[in-house]
A and B are shown apart, each in its own frame.
Chain A
Amino acid sequence: MKFEYLIEGGDFIRAGHASSDIKKILNQLNLDPAIVRRIAVSMYEAEVNVVAHAFRGVMKVNINPERILVLVEDEGPGIPDIAQAMQEGYSTASDKVREMGFGAGMGLSNMKKNTDILDIHSAINRGTVVKMTTFTKSGAS
């Protein structure tokens, strides 16, 4: 099953819409609640990253009985140093974004913590592609 969500840069009001929707779907599919929660958290972080840093993006979710694949592609500044961005507390968020209570530098590390496989590719001034794979049976990888 495939689902697709458009994400608008700067639209913090809508941030969380895709993850909330997918959470409901996964609950209906009888996925382990703990895994549903991990996916919801990682998706939300990915959504907020697009809203906070990029111009726009698209989130594609592909669900099959073995794994949930979330692909987030954005048009934006890209990430110059992914290893540095992965560190807890490291953030390039603007003051405006921080004032809204975001930009604590936990986004990528939270995503890593809550997905089985996290892949990030980025091109400066073009955008970032984030691929998150989570297996439906805990322990499988």
Chain B
Amino acid sequence: MSSAFHHALKIEEEVCTGCTHCIQACPTEALRVKGGKARLIAERCVDCGECMRVCPVNAIKVEEDDFTKILDFEHRVAIVPSVFIGQFARNIATRKIYSGMLEEGFTHVYEAEHGSGILIDLINKYLADHPGTRPVISSFCPAIVRLIQVRFPSLVGNLMPFKAPLDLAAISFRKKLTEQEIPEKNVGVFYITPCAAKIAAVKSPVGEETSPFNGVINMNTLYSKVFSVIKREEKSFCIVPEKEQLLPEEMEWTLTGGEARHIHGRCLSIDGISNAIEFLERLENGTLGNFDFLEMRACDKSCAGGILSSTNRFLVSERLHKRAEQYYIDKGNGKIFNNKTITLYKDYVIANASLHDIEPRSIMKLDEDMVLAMKKMQKIQKIKGYLPGIDCAACGAPGCRALAEDVVQGRARTSDCVFVAIKVKGGETMSQVAEYTEEIWGRNRFKNMLPE
């Protein structure tokens, strides 16, 4: 397993104005301001994207594979999540969206949730076979998996050891093509992602050796391309009929409640990373009742609220619910054909569906050595006592406790707190204090404050 953490979120230095929005929004305190720019502490970041949501200048970007990378392959498979379909208005038919994707260069389009039926059976069997592991926590959302690794290490054993439906879809589709005697190297499988966490998960997988994907395409990039081709060539391009249809429960899998409703026993669905944290805290404290299964997604409204979603999350989820309703209407009219190819590869998919042990990697420990950690903790308490406790973030850390910890870990100094510098360190001149603040907030930051 790789020990380096790949992050999909990147701060664009030239755009970042060095404010405090992102550092205070980060659920793992992974950001600091230094030299007037936000900096990421790699081992803490879980790629949830909360920083990107709050950035007022759009300085946080999601790394993506260049779209032309798909052309490296003769067979170009797009594994597309149902929420992609939800990006478009309801009057744009699914087959039209697929056709737009083929027009843009893919040779195959396959919906990511085709594997969810197989997964439901695997999870229910796992629950029945492991009555001592409760609650089982879904490993579907990669930001939640990483959050548990870094902030709730005692709960890693509760994560269900299975890959997500999109991985199963990719595994089966790859198998299908290679069975047609297409060489493996000619097959490029790409995931169209609604979130940053999935990019990180593909680039540095947790609990699996390699990812079944060759690359990841940002959902909003593809949305713009497909939307414009649909608008531009509405009359001219060829509409290809859908080859395979998702079942209604699969269409709704990535929405809140999409997993939990199929799992036996007492289940709960939690969306939003702060809600998940509150719940995991209670679970770790043992103050939660007895649950069999917890579905947890980092984004509000689950994948419909992914940071790479171009359409409002409420509209996306409404569209997907309507799409599921439409399925039953179409079925009544005999318009549904049931030819799910993934069922042909069921045994192969199941054989490749398991994750290895997910390792804890706590960011909370102050030191590997407990004696040293105790000493550091005592120092932190002492420093925290000096600090004003207003969590203004003017020191570049998200709050006073975080600054105290940074000081003890050698990443900052107490006088980075402007109040300490002025008040406690009375011996220091005001120009020294100004110099400290400039080191954090940048040389040019305060120049407009001076009168002409």
Q: Which residues of A contact B (CB under 8 A)?
A: 1, 16, 19-20, 23-25, 27-31, 33-34, 36-37, 40-41, 44-45, 63, 65, 101, 136
Contacts and interface: CB of A to CB of B under 8 A. Distances in A.
B285 A28 contact: no
Nearest to A22: B285
A65 B362 CA distance: 19
Contact of B286 (A1, A33, A41, A136): A41
Nearest to A45: B286
B287 interface: yes
A20 B281 contact: yes
B370 A24 contact: no
Given A33-B360, A34-B154, A65-B370, A28 B284 contact: no
Contacts of B35: none
A29 B374 contact: yes
B272 interface: no
Most A CB contacts (10 A, CB to CB) among B286, B287, B374, B377 go to B286
Given A27-B364, A30-B362, A30-B365, A37 B371 contact: no
Contacts of B65: none
Interface of B: 153-154, 156, 281, 284-287, 289, 360, 362, 364-371, 373-374, 377-378
B370 A30 contact: yes
A30 B289 contact: no
Given A28-B364, A30-B362, A37 B286 contact: yes
Contacts of B377: 1, 25, 28-29
Contact of B370 (A29, A33, A40, A41): A29
A91 to B, nearest CB: 17
A36 B281 CA distance: 13
Given A33-B153, A101-B289, A28 B365 contact: yes
B366 A29 contact: yes
A62 to B, nearest CB: 12
Nearest to A19: B285
18 contacts: A1-B374, A16-B285, A16-B287, A19-B285, A19-B286, A28-B377, A30-B362, A30-B365, A30-B366, A30-B370, A33-B154, A37-B154, A37-B286, A41-B285, A44-B286, A44-B287, A45-B286, A65-B370
Contacts of A25: 377
Contacts of B287: 16, 44
A41 B288 CA distance: 11
Q: What 7 A-B pairs come out closest when comparing CB atoms?
A: A33-B154, A30-B365, A41-B286, A27-B364, A33-B153, A37-B154, A29-B373
Contact of B368 (A19, A30, A136): A30
A136 B369 CA distance: 12
A30 B285 contact: no
| Chain A contact residues: helix, strand, loop or mixed | helix
A101 B288 CA distance: 11
A19 B378 CA distance: 19
Nearest to A24: B364
A31 B374 contact: no
Contacts of A40: 284-286
Most A CB contacts (10 A, CB to CB) among B153, B370, B377 go to B370
B319 to A, nearest CB: 39
Nearest to B368: A30
A34 B365 CA distance: 14
A44 B366 CA distance: 24
Contacts of B286: 19, 37, 40-41, 44-45
A16 B287 CA distance: 7
Contacts of A45: 286
Given A40-B284, A101-B289, A33 B373 contact: no
A57 to B, nearest CB: 18
A30 B153 CA distance: 10
Contacts of A30: 362, 365-370, 373
A102 B366 CA distance: 36
Nearest to A34: B154
Contacts of B364: 24, 27-28
A31 to B, nearest CB: 7
Most A CB contacts (10 A, CB to CB) among B154, B156, B377 go to B154
A95 B153 CA distance: 37
Nearest to A30: B365
Contacts of B368: 30
Nearest to B381: A1
A63 B374 contact: yes
Contacts of B371: 65
Contacts of B156: 33
B362 A33 contact: yes
B370 A28 contact: no
A140 to B, nearest CB: 13
Nearest to B378: A1
A135 to B, nearest CB: 12
Given A1-B374, A30-B370, A44-B286, 11 more contacts: A16-B285, A23-B285, A24-B364, A25-B377, A28-B366, A29-B366, A33-B153, A34-B154, A37-B286, A44-B285, A136-B370
A25 B405 CA distance: 13
A34 B156 CA distance: 10
A33 B281 CA distance: 13
